[in-house]
């Protein structure tokens, strides 16, 4: 009995001692030491890095066949995976040569459906379309949003909708965003095919111009900085059927290389900001930053903490986490603004995160705070209380 009384007295004494260690804790409202911690992903930052090639009449389907993953069209096997170790997958789509059925049949409705289904599936960063024409390697600069087209082979003979793009007036001209002159120069320098840029003409008002316009339109739709599947370039090339298949394939490879070279100097994607959106004055908080650079260049982060404090970090590898810390000295709502800059001086879109530092009231919670700072002592006290039936 005396033993039990002694234990109870000792435990009560420990509790009294702990309560006596008093100090004032700043607590936001009725919340104690807890923040709403959530992840703010500004973008999905998924870089599929797929290049889409399309073809129509010979030799354009045949010359891009090695990039098809259709075993019927390309029995030798797809060679577009991480093509030439440049970091891009290359996929090609074209109708069956000679019969011209299957994907991209000679039909506006079929072409419309196939185009949007394929782009939705592979999310291309570049679209290069080819078709038979005067060539020899005629890089078209223009494509029109026509309301009257050369009739195809099936009713209703015209595109539906017509004009295809209702976001702009009929007759609106979109332009190739491929590096057209660089492609022409490289093809002329590295192959026997004559290449040139048709700056003022058009692709002819038939299916070649139709798919040329769809590609340029897709690029315009998906070229905003906030688009997680951004398309950087799109354009169309007319190829003369008299070109040998070998020469056409060589010019195709040169064209793809020039396109990849041109997109290796783009700014980083919008950074992700990961951290608390609520806190208290005088407490240091940590935030995780991450930005992916399409070229895999190292990046700096320029940070505006929203309270007239700014900083620029050291270089950090693309796509890796960087932790930064900040303390707000007063109550208020602050907008963290972050931009990433690569080693070429190209700057990303701005990412933001709103942080609220509310008014605080003083609550004397020494006992609770003491155990939160010394969790092991709470476990010891719990063990002492259990034999007495106290919890």
Phi-psi region of 186 (alpha: psi -120 to 50; beta: other; left: phi over 0): alpha
Sign of CA dihedral 165, 59, 247, 85: positive
Average pLDDT of span 78-85: 94
Q: Are 97 and 61 in contact (CB under 8 A)?
A: yes
Average pLDDT of span 341-364: 81
What residues have CB less than 8 Å from 106, skipping those under 6 apart? 56, 95, 100, 152, 153, 207
Residue 360 has pLDDT above 80, yes or no: no
CA atoms within a 13 Å half-sphere pointing along the CA-CB vector of 121: 9
Backbone angles phi, psi at 90, to 5 degrees: -115, 125
Residue among 93, 210, 227, 49 nearest 145 (CA): 210
What are the tens digits of pLDDT across the range 55-68?
Answer: 999 999 999 999 99
Class (C level, CATH) for 28-45+269-360: mainly beta
Give all strands (DSSP E) within the chain, no chain letters: 25-27, 37-40, 50-54, 89-93, 124-132, 137-140, 142-144, 173-175, 195-198, 233-239, 272-276, 284-290, 299-304, 310-312, 322-327, 332-342, 351-357, 361-363
Residue 294 has pLDDT above 80, yes or no: yes
pLDDT band, residue 25 (cuts 50/70/90): very low
Residue 103 has pLDDT above 90, yes or no: yes
Average pLDDT of span 319-348: 92
Residue 14 has pLDDT above 70, yes or no: no
- Is residue 382 helix, strand or coil? helix
Query: What is the model's pLDDT at position 387?
Result: 66
Backbone angles phi, psi at 20, to 5 degrees: -70, -15
Provide the CATH topology of domain 50-262. Answer: Aminopeptidase (3.40.630)
Q: What are the start and end residues of each CATH 3.40.630.20 domain in the chain?
A: 50-262
pLDDT band, residue 33 (cuts 50/70/90): very low
Q: Are 254 and 237 in contact (CB under 8 A)?
A: no
Q: Give the pair of three-digit tokens for residue 11.
A: 């435990």
Residue 381 has pLDDT above 80, yes or no: no
Query: What is the model's pLDDT at position 49?
Result: 86
Query: What is the model's pLDDT at position 28?
Result: 36
What is the percent of the chain where pLDDT is above 70?
A: 79
Q: Give the pair of three-digit tokens for residue 294.
A: 């399409």
Average pLDDT of span 178-193: 97
pLDDT band, residue 34 (cuts 50/70/90): very low
User: Which segment of 86-90, 164-168, 240-244, 324-328 scores lowest on mean pLDDT?
Assistant: 86-90
Residue 332 has pLDDT above 70, yes or no: yes
Query: What is the model's pLDDT at position 382?
Result: 67
**Separation of alpha carbons 179 and 176, rounded Å:** 8
pLDDT band, residue 262 (cuts 50/70/90): confident
Q: What is the mean pLDDT of the chain?
A: 85
Residue 88 has pLDDT above 70, yes or no: yes
User: Which segment of 44-48, 124-128, 333-337 scores lowest on mean pLDDT?
Assistant: 44-48
Residue among 288, 118, 259 nearest 186 (CA): 259
Distance of alpha carbon 36 from its chain centroid, rounded?
27
**Separation of alpha carbons 275 and 305, rounded Å:** 13
Residue 102 has pLDDT above 60, yes or no: yes
Q: What are the start and end residues of each CATH 2.60.40.10 domain in the chain?
A: 28-45+269-360
Average pLDDT of span 33-49: 33
Query: What is the model's pLDDT at position 107?
Result: 95
**Separation of alpha carbons 371 and 291, rounded Å:** 39
Average pLDDT of span 324-339: 95
pLDDT band, residue 2 (cuts 50/70/90): very low
């Amino acid at each position: 009995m005396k033993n039990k009384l002694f234990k109870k007295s000792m435990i009560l004494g420990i509790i009294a001692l702990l309560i006596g260690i008093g100090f004032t804790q700043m607590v936001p409202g009725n919340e104690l030491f807890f923040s709403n911690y959530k992840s703010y992903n500004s973008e999905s930052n998924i870089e599929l890095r797929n290049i889409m090639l399309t073809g129509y009449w010979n030799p354009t389907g045949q010359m891009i066949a090695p990039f098809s993953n259709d075993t019927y069209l390309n029995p030798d096997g797809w060679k577009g995976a991480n093509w030439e170790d440049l970091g891009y997958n290359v996929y090609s789509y074209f109708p069956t040569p000679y019969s011209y059925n299957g994907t991209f049949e000679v039909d506006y409705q079929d072409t419309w459906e196939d185009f949007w289904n394929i782009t939705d599936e592979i999310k291309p960063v570049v679209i290069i379309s080819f078709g038979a024409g005067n060539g020899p390697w005629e890089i078209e600069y223009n494509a029109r949003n026509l309301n009257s087209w050369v009739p195809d082979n099936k009713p209703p003979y015209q595109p539906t909708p017509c004009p295809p793009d209702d976001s702009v007036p009929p007759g609106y001209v979109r332009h190739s965003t491929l590096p057209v002159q660089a492609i022409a120069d490289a093809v002329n320098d590295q192959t026997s095919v004559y290449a040139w840029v048709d700056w003022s003409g058009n692709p002819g008002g038939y299916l070649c111009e139709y798919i040329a316009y769809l590609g340029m339109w897709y690029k315009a739709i998906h070229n905003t900085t906030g688009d997680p599947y951004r398309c950087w370039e799109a354009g169309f090339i007319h190829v003369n059927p008299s070109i040998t298949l070998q020469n056409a394939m060589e010019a195709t490879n040169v064209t793809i290389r020039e396109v990849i070279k041109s997109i290796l100097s783009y700014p980083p994607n919008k950074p992700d900001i990961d951290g608390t959106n609520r806190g208290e004055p005088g407490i240091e908080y940590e935030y995780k930053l991450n930005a992916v650079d399409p070229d895999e260049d190292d990046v700096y982060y320029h940070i505006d903490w929203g309270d007239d404090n700014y900083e620029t970090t050291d270089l950090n590898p693309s796509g890796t986490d960087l932790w930064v810390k900040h303390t707000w000295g007063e109550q208020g709502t602050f907008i963290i603004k972050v931009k990433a800059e690569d080693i070429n001086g190209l700057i990303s879109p701005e990412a933001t995160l709103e942080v609220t530092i509310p008014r605080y009231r003083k609550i004397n919670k020494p006992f609770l705070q003491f155990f939160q700072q010394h969790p092991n002592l709470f476990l010891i006290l719990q063990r002492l209380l259990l034999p007495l039936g106290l919890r």
